[in-house]
Amino acid sequence: MPELGISAVHVWHSALELPPVQLQRLETLLSRDEQQRAARFALAAPRAAFVAARGILRQLLAGYLGVDPRRLRFCYERRGKPALDPSLGSDLTFNVSHSHGVALFAVGRGRRLGIDVEHIRAGRDSAKIAQRFFSPSEAAALDALPAALRRRAFYACWTRKEAFVKAMGTGITHPLDSFEVSVAPDEPATLVHIDGDRRRALDWRLRDLHFDRDYAAALAVEGHDWQLSCHERHPEA
């Protein structure tokens, strides 16, 4: 496990489509509540993805803390964002996102962070979604791009916004049109303003993450005094 200093943020990429023996091993790491939550999935694929993502998360966090993954305890913020239970006495912060068989895990120390990954799908009505959920400026910027760039730009904008919302821990209660991010996929990921306040936006830093052309992903981290490193995770046997 690489050392995670106070000025470091680590992002881990892992496949979630695992052999049954690995999936069973990961399920043994889960708490009773997590196992009950997994059992509530009606379909096998979402259930397996949940088990894999939560099991790998436990392995990662336990590796940083030097404890058995089964010893980890989680608490949940008011809007449902998970965090390590204060009884563990750790300043580790983390966030998880998974889509279409892959998961991304972000881990830092003492700072808010959020991560989002989305599988890029053809046929999605991105213009209609942008008009409904994006700010007017974002929707206009998307519409002004060449048609060949719009799908990837939509996903770039969407993941940048979702990463920030997840970092804030406000979830679906945070209107996506109340803040603005950069839109074009070939320009730096930037938080432009929060509720019209550009100074508040300066407290945050966004980064696009590139690991597969079929996916878009972004990271939002509080502060600027940090360095990103990316790693691939293979679940332990």
* Within-domain flag for 201: yes
Q: Residue 61 corresponds to which tokens in the numbers above?
A: 């966090």
Whether 17 and 83 map to the same domain: the answer is yes
- Do both 139 and 93 map to the same domain? no
Say if 216 falls within a structural domain. no
Determine the structural domain holding residue 164 and report its residue range.
Answer: 120-209
Q: Looking at the domain assignment, is residue 237 inside a domain?
A: no
Residues 186-230: tens digit of each pLDDT: 999 999 999 999 999 999 999 999 999 999 999 999 999 999 999
Indicate whether 35 belongs to any domain. Answer: yes
Q: Look at residue 236 in the predicted model and tell me its pLDDT.
A: 66
Residue whose C-alpha is closest to residue 167's, from 100, 91, 81 = 81
51 and 32: one domain? Answer: yes
User: Where are the alpha helices (H) located in the chain, listed in sequence order?
Assistant: 20-27, 32-39, 44-65, 126-133, 136-144, 147-168, 198-201
Q: Is the residue at 218 inside a domain?
A: no
Q: Does 127 lie in the same domain as 92?
A: no
Helix/strand number for the chain, H first, E second:
7, 11
- Asked whether residue 49 falls in the same domain as residue 87, the answer is yes
Is 32 in the same domain as 49?
yes
Here the CATH number for the domain that contains residue 84 is: 3.90.470.20
Q: 111 and 13 share a domain?
A: yes
The single-letter code of the amino acid at 153 is A
- The predicted-structure confidence for 44-92, as pLDDT tens digits, reads as follows 999 999 999 999 999 999 999 999 999 999 999 888 889 999 999 999 9
Sorted by sequence, the CB contacts under 8 Å of residue 101 that are 6+ apart come out as 15, 16, 17, 49
**Residue 3 in domain:** no
Q: Which of 176, 129, 179, 178 has its CA nearest to residue 150?
A: 129
Q: Are residues 55 and 73 in the same domain?
A: yes
> What is the percent of the chain with per-residue pLDDT over 70, rounded to a whole number?
97
Inside any domain, residue 144: yes
Residues ≥6 apart with Cβ < 8 Å to 84: 61, 72, 73, 74, 75, 90, 92, 94
Same-domain status, 145 and 201: yes
Number of folded domains that form the chain: 2
- Which is nearest to 118 in space by CA: 215, 218, 17? 215
Instruction: Please tell me whether residues 42 and 17 are part of one structural domain.
Output: yes
**Residue-level pLDDT at 59:** 97
180 within 8 A of 192, measured Cβ to Cβ: yes
Query: Considering only CA atoms, which of 73, 66, 68, 190 is closest in space to residue 137?
Result: 190
Looking at the structure, do residues 13 and 111 belong to the same domain, yes or no?
A: yes
Q: What is the mean pLDDT of the chain?
A: 95
Name every residue whose Cβ is closer than 8 Å to that of residue 64 and which is 6 or more positions away in sequence: 1, 4, 92, 107
pLDDT for 237 equals 52
Q: Within this chain, do residues 101 and 176 fall inside the same structural domain, yes or no?
A: no
